[in-house]
Copies of this chain bind each other. A is one copy, B any other.
Amino acid sequence: MTKEEALYEFLIRLGDNALILGQRLGEWCGKAHQLESDIALTNVALDQIGQARLLLTEAGRIEGKGRTEDDLAYMRGEMDFRNNLLVEQDNGDFAHTIVRQYIFDVFQYHLLKGLQKSSNDFLKAYADKSIKEVTYHRSLSHDWMLRLGDGTELSHQKMQDALDDLWEYTGELFEMTEADDVLIAEGMIPKLSDIKKIWEEEVEATIQEATLKVPDTLGFMAYGSRKGIHSEYLGYILAEMQVLPRSMPDAKW
């Protein structure tokens, strides 16, 4: 595997996470329980789609086949997507959305912290630019974790259910492939196993502060996205996202 191939894989992985999470959060636009939450979630969606644009544009450049951000977003099939299973999971109720978001925000935050030290100019600039917005996302979802986890009996139960449902998708965030090995050797990216330790410490502390329990998965974790194997949800997300550009592929009108 060449350096370019490894970098392409890594950029697509990050870009797809941002794109698919942005799509999911965008579904809340106009449907949250308060105008304030509606705007907050949609702002996070826009930040993620903005990050996806940077990452997919760079992935296209590295690949060297002339594909644009739009080509990569709209013209790839499900098995070419490398987003984590976590971010494609259904919005569910507000508790599921918040738990999914918090788990991802902490992961993304520490990954960006690591990328700020990257030897790759693009990755460093991307991390420096995005860390500010992700710091805010993490603070927002952290506050909701506490407010709902340590809220009413009902909100507490909904949050615990969401944690129990989503926990099995956390292992995959840290799965390393050959691409990681190549890029780590170049000093371009941090080790996901290192990030896992910081992530666990922070997330478990918040879970306890929110009076919730860390789920016991008996060791079961879902894997697949590194090889393009996705849950039943991704196909529907892509169908909705891609139908317009695909039905007018030249988009000349």
* Per-residue contact bits, chain A 223-253, to B (CB 8 Å; 1 contact, 0 not): 0000000000000000011011100100111
Residues in chain B near residue A26, CB distance under 8 A: 29-30, 42
**Are A33 and B245 within 8 A (Cβ)?**
yes
Total copies of the chain: 2
A105-119 vs B, CB cutoff 8 Å, 1 = contact: the mask equals 000000000000000
Taking CB as reference atom, which chain B residue is nearest A159?
B253
On whether the beta carbons of B31 and A45 are closer than 8 Å, the reply is no
Q: Check A27 for interface membership: any CB of B closer than 8 A.
A: yes
Enumerate chain B residues within 8 angstroms of A70, measured Cβ to Cβ: 34-35
User: Which residues of the other chain, B, contact A29 by a CB distance below 8 angstroms?
Assistant: 26-27, 29, 42, 45
Report the minimum CB–CB distance from A229 to chain B (whole Å).
23
Partner of A34, one of B45, B154, B243, B251: B251
Determine whether the beta carbon of B42 is less than 8 Å from that of A46: yes
Indicate if A101 sits at the interface (CB-CB under 8 A): no
Task: Give A32-61 as 1s and 0s: 1 = Cβ < 8 Å from B's Cβ atoms.
Answer: 111110110011011001101100000000
Q: If A42-B42, A46-B39, A46-B42 touch, does A245 touch B34 (CB 8 Å cutoff)? A: yes
- Mind listing 6 A-B residue pairs with CB under 8 Å? A26-B29, A35-B52, A39-B46, A39-B50, A43-B46, A148-B253
Enumerate chain A interface residues (CB-CB to B < 8 A): 22-23, 26-27, 29-36, 38-39, 42-43, 45-46, 49-50, 52-53, 69-70, 73, 148, 151-152, 154-155, 158, 240-241, 243-245, 248, 251-253
